[in-house]
Structure 1
Amino acid sequence: MSMFNKVSKSFMFGQHEVTLTTGEIARQASGAVVVQMGDTVILATVVAKKETKPGQDFFPLTVDYIEKAYAAGKFPGGFFKREGRPSEHETLTSRLIDRPIRPLFPDGFFNEVQVIIHVLSVDPEINPDIPSMIGASAALTISGIPFKGPIGACRVGYVNGGFVCNPTVSQLKESRLDLVVAGTERAVLMVESEADCLPEQTMLDAVMFGHQQMQVAINAIHELTAEAGKPAWDWQPAPKNEALIARVHEIAQADIEEAYTIRSKQSRTEKLRAIYEKVEAQLTADAEAAGTEVADMNEVHGILFEMEAHVVRTNILEGKPRIDGRDTRTVRPIEIRQSILPRTHGSALFTRGETQALVLTTLGTKQDEQIIDNIMGESRDRFIMHYNMPPFATGETGRVGSPKRREIGHGRLAKRALKAVLPSAEEFNYSIRVVSEICESNGSSSMASVCGGCLSMLDAGVPLKDYVAGVAMGLIKEGNKFAVLTDILGDEDHLGDMDFKVAGTENGVTALQMDIKIEGITAEIMQAALAQAHEGRMHILGKMHEMAGDGAKELSVWAPRLLTIKINPEKIRDVIGKGGATIRGLCEETGCQIDIEDDGTVTIASNDTERAEFAKKRIEDITADVEVGKIYEGPVVKLLDFGAIIGLLPGKDGLLHISQIANERVNQVSDYLQEGQTVRVKVIGFDDKNRPRLSMKALLNEE
């Protein structure tokens, strides 16, 4: 009899069979599930603490997705041969798993929960992210932890006009869509996607298709839980202190309502801070007068936050103006400036209300491409997008240094939005790095980065296929009433039920990201949000055209100039030289950067056009073939008794026989030629060893 109480459930998911197994590995975790899809295998574990830390006022959920080199049969790189800090891909996948499960924990549940996913084996055709999301959901569901799941997840492709459930990596290369959707049986919770300018209706249909397909995974998790689930926790939220709630309302209600009539974010923040201090002081005085213990200030702050949310949400649902005075469909005022920095290749300052992005573009060569080496294989990326938000953007102090998860996620979203309009490498053979520095933030800074990124690249001379703009939508929902908000503020994001970002051109959507804080939304709400987002995007695109003109500017004077030539692939070794000596010498001699492709494409990069042309001539000389009848000018390399060796081209010499030096008889070669002397010669043929035969006499006769 086995020592393991192993339970497995299998189902077909698109073209792959998926198997969920529990009871064999990591049995001391609160929940552990192994998920296998094809040859991709992940282990998802969850552990939750039974006790809450004293004074805890937020839900401490952490999700860590970890890739190990052994999963692909590789050694880790670097000196230590051990995996180090998380890669960007690992960070993004951790966020992808976190976002749909976080809203499903009950309000007031503040126990620490840690979800860890290890990739144990990887099929290069099957990305581990979907199995990881399913595994995290299954581990949480069987653990007995308070969780309103399970969730399912599905990747959707769009190939030849039809949707594909969980396409392979190869199929995605042919797909116009890469969309990941997660949700419960009833509703969608999270969407992450990039697309090739697809219509809004196609995007909505893809979301609903994915939601329908994921139901098989949810059913399998239910079956696994029925057979192997642990007893549900006997957890109840702490009872509300009605007397404290009433007292806080009495002290602060009028002040909070007044604070949310203040249009300026900083002024409103100062007013709210003063209200919090006033409530704390009054409650402390009340306790001293009554001789009782002072109320828990974390609980008081929670009550005040709920009061803020109620004021903002009620105003919007009743049709009153939003926090900054706008209606639900209006985009904040926009101001655009390009070419604001003298030495950067491209720059743009995009300001929308109190959100501002300074976006810079740098153009480079193939050597500047990012080399990505992970368990799915090695690849190169010529487009890099980075997003930074320092603490001063919100008028705060804080840590500055390596990017946080949020910054990495926002940068990737902006990259997805802009990727569809980039010119091909054949049209524009530059590497492109775009950096968005958020200088002010009051909502939708990632979408400001999309708009600024587009304008910055155009300023640098990148011939984009079209303009791209993005807008963040919000949602306020109470019962059957809901309101969709265009261009949300930070407070509306914080106090609302949805953050729905849509980016695209006039012709369609290029990126869509949705995060829901309630237990899912319906197709009707998504359709309304997409329609309203289209309206907002058209308005922003109109402003971008109006203020920045049409099309790309001239290539920046500070950007490297690229010359491209094609050589015979068999001549590549001549250009590189022994141990790279020739190409290294060329780079030092000309000051250029030279890249050679396997097909013989040579790219020369230099800020000086004359130097680039010189490097081009040197390469052409190295790879040129000596031709019969052609006249060459070169140095006398060596004198011989019977003639001289003449340098024709780099690495190519020919013999000038003594009989071909002059019309008269030549007794001593040194009477006519000296080593180092430059002479003109004509190629009159090749000897039996294919060495050029040269003549000075032939030129004299022609003259």
Structure 2
Amino acid sequence: MTLNNPQTFSIDWEGTELSIETGRIAKQADGAVVVRLGETMVLVTAVAAHEPSSQPFLPLTVNYQQPNYAAGKFPGGFFKREGRPSEKEVLTSRLIDRPLRPLFPEGYRFETQVIATVISADLQNDSDIPAMIGASAALTISDIPWNGPVVGARVGRIDGKYVLNPTVQALHESDIDAIIVVSEESVVMVEGGASFVSEQDIVGALEFAKEKCQPVIELQKQMAAAVGRTKRELPAPEPVDEGLRKEVEAAFTDRMREAASVRTKHERYAAYGEVKKAALEAFGTGPDGEDRSGAVKEILEDLKKRIVRGMIREGVRVDGRDHKTVRPIEIETGWLPRAHGSALFTRGETQAIVTATLGTQEDEQKLDTLERQYYKRFYLHYNFPPYSVGEVRRMGSPGRREIGHGNLAERAFLPLLPDAETFPYTIRVVSEITESNGSSSMATVCGASLS
């Protein structure tokens, strides 16, 4: 009796062998693959619940983890065991999540978890790319409804030439570091940074990635044809009562349009709430006493979206601005008496207190990753307290969003820093978001530049 029945699918991907194996490991998962690029290997699994969640959103969780054994290393600290996710693990989890999420069917409400575990790291090929490919492949061959496949690739440019998946060392010579995810038809996601390159250069990188990723799309389609499971049948969505829709829209379209035209965020949300309350009182209970509140809320949400989109097409945003007008901006610098540098940046209803602190080399942050140990002499921390959006929730350690937004803003400054010999100091920037109604990460960039 054979317990394992591995099947491997491989191609030469721009000079490096890429293989995807299934059938050997994690066979109780709905989909499981081991992706190998060079000597970097990532185990990726996908599992979905069989009963729908009651939550009104897609309940997808992506976890990427880098155990130290993958590179033949011991964890640091007294416990000698991996603890909370590192910044790299959090950022890569977000990176995998973003292109997967929009490709689930509309109305999909089943708890779904994708786990990517690095099991071998060759210190040349970053594990984030095989992890992204593995997430797509695991979902593609599983019975989970999903409209893939997709492929993620890193694009660099060295000496004016685009390079697919440059090694960790080669990236130091590249003026582009972009992760691009594509489907068969289009670009799905882009994240990255560059050192003063033109828009045309970035467009060229997108076209380069789309072309070079197509063989991996075909590889996943071959896998699905050979070992893929039949996709689950999703329960048919309950049809909306068109009679009820017409009644609700006839009664509340004008009031919803008035609410959408309120210019301040909290007053606008309060106006939406009043419309919802009145609609539920009028139509939430059917003539036979049946509960129709869910259907009424769905009709109102769809109505609100159509009204707001219509306003935007007519050239008016919800706060009354046209497409070209920037929200009012107010800047105060040197606002804090004891900080080395500070700025209070307010743009419309978004506000950030941003501080800069100057230190010595002793204040550099030591990072111990799978690939290497190194020191950071510039780091930016982003904090998003609940009061910034008028909410009450538990305060804790920085969440995925805060780490992701902080990294996004931090990368904007790296090409601008003088070299260590010219400027042998450490800089820490902290952004406290005190109000939020759109693009607090860019408010952080503006405030950091000022501070």
TM interval, shorter chain, is over 0.9
1:377-428 CA deviation, whole Å, 9 max, x = no partner? 2111111111111111112222222111111110000011111111111121
Tell me if 1:447 matches 2:445: no
Q: Secondary structure at the match of 2:412?
A: helix
Matches within 5 A, 1:96-495: 96-242=95-241, 243-284=243-284, 286-287=285-286, 290-297=287-294, 299-317=295-313, 319-456=314-451
TM-score normalised according to structure 1 size: 0.63
Task: Give CA deviations for 1:632-664 in whole Å, capped at 9, x if unaligned.
Answer: xxxxxxxxxxxxxxxxxxxxxxxxxxxxxxxxx
CA distance in 2, matches of 1:234, 1:174: 49
Q: Secondary structure at the match of 1:329?
A: coil
For residues 349-403 of structure 1, the C-alpha deviation after alignment (integer angstroms, 9 at most, x for no partner) is: 1111111111100111111111111211211111111111111111222222211
Q: Which amino acid aligns with 1:385?
A: L
Shift of 1:2: 3.7
Cα deviation per residue 1:600-623 (whole Å; 9 max; x = unaligned)?
xxxxxxxxxxxxxxxxxxxxxxxx
Partner secondary structure for residue 50 of structure 1: strand
CA drift at 1:3: 3.3
Query: Secondary structure at 2:171's aligned position in 1?
Result: helix
Contact between 1:142 and 1:225, CA under 8 Å: does it hold in 2?
A: yes
* Matched-pair contact (CA < 8 Å) for 1:7–1:224: no
Deviation at 1:250, TM superposition (A): 3.2
Structure 2 CA distance for aligned equivalents of residues 158 and 110 of structure 1? 41
User: Residue 248 of structure 1 aligns to which amino acid in structure 2?
Assistant: V
Following the alignment from structure 2 to structure 1, what is the Cα–Cα distance between the partners of residues 168 and 79? 31
SS of 1:51's equivalent in the other structure is strand
Which aligned pairs between 1:16-35 and structure 2 lie closer than 5 A? 16-35=16-35
Rounded to whole Å, the distance in 2 between the matches of 1:404 and 1:70 is 26
User: What amino acid maps onto 1:310 in structure 2?
Assistant: R
Report the TM-score, using the length of structure 2 for normalisation. Answer: 0.97
* Further displaced range: 339-348 or 393-402: 393-402
Deviations 1:420-477 (A, max 9, x none): 1111111211111001111111111101111111111xxxxxxxxxxxxxxxxxxxxx
Q: Please give the secondary structure, in 2, of the residue aligned with 1:130.
A: helix
8 Å CA contact retained: 1:43, 1:120: yes
After superposing on structure 2, the runs of 4+ consecutive aligned residues of structure 1 that deviate more than 6 Å are: none
Question: Is the contact between residue 15 and residue 166 of structure 1 (CA under 8 Å) also seen in structure 2?
Answer: no
Secondary structure in structure 2 of the residue aligned to 1:24? coil
Contact 2:352 2:434 in 1 (8 A): yes
* 1:73 equivalent in structure 2: 72
Question: 1:261, 1:323 within 8 Å by CA — same for their partners in 2?
Answer: yes
Structure 1 CA distance for aligned equivalents of residues 315 and 378 of structure 2: 44
Tell me, in whole angstroms, the C-alpha distance in 1 between the residues paired with 2:441 and 2:167.
29
Which whole-Å CA distance do the structure 1 matches of 2:207 and 2:256 have between them? 40
Cα 1:296–1:43 shift into 2, 3 Å: farther
- Counterpart code for 2:288: G
Is the contact between residue 280 and residue 293 of structure 2 (CA under 8 Å) also seen in structure 1?
no
Code of the residue aligned with 2:259 in structure 1: it is: A
* Separation in structure 2 between the aligned mates of residue 301 and residue 426 of structure 1, nearest angstrom: 61
| Deviation string, structure 1 residues 655-679 (Cα, Å, up to 9, x no partner) | xxxxxxxxxxxxxxxxxxxxxxxxx
1:496 corresponds in structure 2 to none
Shift in Å, 1:296: 4.6
Partners of 2:96 and 2:110 in 1: how far apart? 19
Which residue of structure 2 aligns with residue 93 of structure 1?
A: 92
* Unaligned residue ranges in structure 1 (runs of 5+): 457-703
Q: Does the CA-based 8 Å contact 2:31-2:139 persist in structure 1?
A: yes
Task: Decide whether the 8 Å contact of 2:283 with 2:293 is kept in 1.
Answer: no
Q: Which amino acid aligns with 1:435?
A: V
Q: Which residue of 2 aligns with 1:490?
A: none
Compute the RMSD of aligned alpha carbons. 1.4
Which amino acid in 1 is paired with 2:77? G
| Deviation at residue 252 of structure 1 after TM alignment | 2.6
Structure number with higher relative contact order (C-alpha < 8 Å, ≥ 6 residues apart): 2
Cα distance in structure 1, aligned partners of 2:52 and 2:75: 38
Q: Partner amino acid for 1:295?
A: R
Q: Percent identity?
A: 48
In the TM superposition, what whole-angstrom CA distance separates every residue of 1:251-291 from its partner, at most 9, and x where no partner exists? 4322111111111112111101111222222234x43xx23
Question: Structure 2: which amino acid aligns with 1:85?
Answer: R
Q: Distance in 2 between matches of 1:215 and 1:193?
A: 21
Deviation at 1:236, TM superposition (A): 4.2
SS state of the match for residue 275, structure 1? Answer: helix
Deviation at 1:43, TM superposition (A): 0.4
Residue type matched to 2:369 in 1? N
Corresponding residue for residue 51 of structure 1: 51
- Structure 1 residues 300, 120: closer, same or farther in 2, change over 3 A? farther
Q: Quote the residue 1:610 is aligned against.
A: none
Pairs aligned (count): 450
- Check conservation: 1:63, 1:94, Cα contact below 8 A: yes
Asked if the contact 2:67/2:118 (under 8 Å) is kept, the reply is: yes
Following TM superposition, by how much is the alpha carbon of 1:305 offset from its aligned partner in structure 2, in angstroms?
2.0
1:109 alignment partner, SS class: coil
Deviation at residue 229 of structure 1 after TM alignment: 0.2
Corresponding residue for residue 37 of structure 1: 37
Please list the CA deviations of residues 116-162 of structure 1 after superposition, one character each: whole Å capped at 9, or x if unmatched: 01100001111100000000000001002111100111100011111
- Which residue identity lines up with residue 7 of structure 1 in the other structure? Q
Deviation of 1:12 after TM superposition, in Å, equals 2.1
User: Does the C-alpha gap of structure 1 residues 316 and 3 become closer, same or farther in structure 2, counting only changes over 3 Å?
Assistant: same
Task: Give 1:84 shift.
Answer: 1.0
Larger CA deviation: 406-415 vs 327-336: 327-336
Cα deviation for residue 76 of structure 1 reads 1.4
* Separation in structure 2 between the aligned mates of residue 327 and residue 454 of structure 1, nearest angstrom: 27
Give 1:240 deviation, angstroms: 2.1
Q: Which amino acid aligns with 1:191?
A: V
For 2:320, the aligned partner's letter is G
Q: CA contact under 8 A between 1:60 and 1:111: conserved in structure 2?
A: yes
Report the CA distance shift for 1:106/1:215 in structure 2 as closer, same or farther (over 3 A): same
Could you list the runs of 5+ residues in structure 2 that have no partner in the other structure? none
Partner of 1:6: 6
- Which letter maps to 2:296? V
Tell which deviates more after alignment, 335-344 or 398-407. 398-407
For 1:78, give the aligned amino acid. G
For residues 29-52 of structure 1, what are the alpha-carbon distances to aligned partners after superposition, in whole Å with 9 as ceiling and x for unaligned?
000010000010000000011111
1:108/1:237 contact within 8 Å kept: no
